[in-house]
Amino acid sequence: MQISDKKAVSIHYTLTNDAGDKLDSSIGAEPLTYLHGSGNIIPGLENALEGKDVGDKFTVTIPAEEAYGEKQAEMIQVVPKSMFDGMPVEVGMQFQAQVSNGPGIITVIAINGDEVTIDGNHPLAGEALTFDVEVTDVREATEDELAHGHVHGEGCQH
């Protein structure tokens, strides 16, 4: 069965950046399972998987604009340290907060006295991403999965 919209798809993958650094992998763990056509994974990878079948293996490089987008300068802000309510703040800290397009990860990128520079861009924004992929399963999605917009795993309670 080929991958197309409304299919539940399982893949193993290894993700690397332009420098060849491994960023993530499902190898040695459960495969990533998603509902194709529902925006559950980055657009470039979903497009690359279209039409593939169980057993297909391939490598694809996804440009930033089809992954997590380009870095947006307006997502970088300087805020007063007092906004952190006395919590210790260090460069590299990440936390969840509301950003312009909903919940997101904020990263502290600089501290200068009482000013903290935060970045609301996705940590992988601006990067081309390379995926080594193996398709491990393709099946029809259930009515519940289609209604909820994602694949239901073991023990999923809706």
Do 7-68+125-148 and 73-119 fold alike per CATH? Answer: no
pLDDT at 135 over 90: yes
Mean pLDDT of the chain: 92
What residue spans define the domains of the chain? 7-68+125-148, 73-119
DSSP string, the chain: ----TTEEEEEEEEEE-TT--EEEE-TTSPPEEEETTTT-S-HHHHHHHTT--TT-EEEEEE-GGGTT----GGGEEEEEGGGGTT----TT-EEEEEETTEEEEEEEEEEETTEEEEE-S-TTTT--EEEEEEEEEEEEPPHHHHHHTS---TT---
Give this prediction's pTM.
Answer: 0.84
Token duo for residue 89: 């703040």
Q: What is the mean pLDDT of residues 35-61?
A: 97
113's tokens: 């006295």
Q: In this structure, what is the dihedral angle of CA atoms 45, 51, 146, 32, given to the nearest 10 degrees?
A: -50
- Give the pLDDT score at 69: 93
Task: Please provide the CATH number assigned to the domain covering 73-119.
Answer: 2.40.10.330
Does the domain spanning 7-68+125-148 belong to CATH 3.90.180.10? no
Determine the pLDDT at residue 97.
Answer: 83
CB 75 within 8 A of CB 99: yes
What integer pLDDT is reported at residue 156 of this predicted model?
54
What is the predicted pLDDT for the residue at 116? 96
